[in-house]
Amino acid sequence: MVRVIFALLYTALLLGANAAAADVAKAQTLQTGEMRKLLFHPKAQPVAQKPLVDLNGAPQDLSPHQGQWVVLNFWATWCAPCRKEMPSLDKLALAMQGRNLLVLTVATGPNPVPAITAFIAETDLKNITFLRDPTSQMARAMGVMALPVTLLINPQGQEVGRLIGDADWAAPNAIAFFEALTS
């Protein structure tokens, strides 16, 4: 009994002292539906700092996004599940506008820019940021072995969770999860 009380007090102190941990704990209580596939790490993991480029070929990295939650999705134009989930990522980004969350996608491997821009146009994607990892350095460094893979990065720039495979990011339970995470 004493151990249980001690554990509860310790957890309350930890969560009270760490707002991000409190947000994660609150959000985890809302992990239903496909959001159950989002697995949280026992300890935050570093995010590799590998070169990325935007659709114009300009160098990019993730450092400007520290201070906010980032949904970082690795995908490819040739990947059917990736293409299927992309509109729901766009809807998530729209639903989360004004909150402390950014949806970034990284086309990893040989994805010609014309194929990416054609896909963006045909699916009317307007709310997510598109980056490229043409040599797959970032994907390899982050242990992305298949596509799609989505990383959840905390405001400190660390990976705290990962979802392997596609998901409906715009489902009501997913929106509620991210609202709790960013509250």
Residue 165 reports pLDDT greater than 70:
yes
Tell me the CA distances in angstroms from 177 to 18, 63, 142, 143, 172, one per residue in order.
19, 24, 24, 25, 9
Residue 128 reports pLDDT greater than 70:
yes
Instruction: Tell me if residue 151 falls in helix, strand or coil.
Output: strand
Residue 101 reports pLDDT greater than 80:
yes
Per-residue pLDDT, 2: 36
Number of compact structural domains in the chain: 1
Per-residue pLDDT, 20: 55
The residue count for the chain: 183
Q: Let me know: does 52 contact 131? Beta carbons within 8 Å.
A: yes
Lowest-confidence region among 13-22, 58-67, 86-95, 113-122:
13-22
CATH of the domain at 23: 3.40.30.10
Residue 5 reports pLDDT greater than 50:
no
* Tens digits of residue pLDDT in 39-79: 999 999 999 999 999 999 999 988 888 899 999 999 999 99
* Tens digits of residue pLDDT in 129-160: 999 999 999 999 999 999 999 999 999 999 99
Q: What is the DSSP letter of 131?
A: E
- Domain residues for 65? 2-181
Q: Mean pLDDT over all residues of the chain?
A: 88
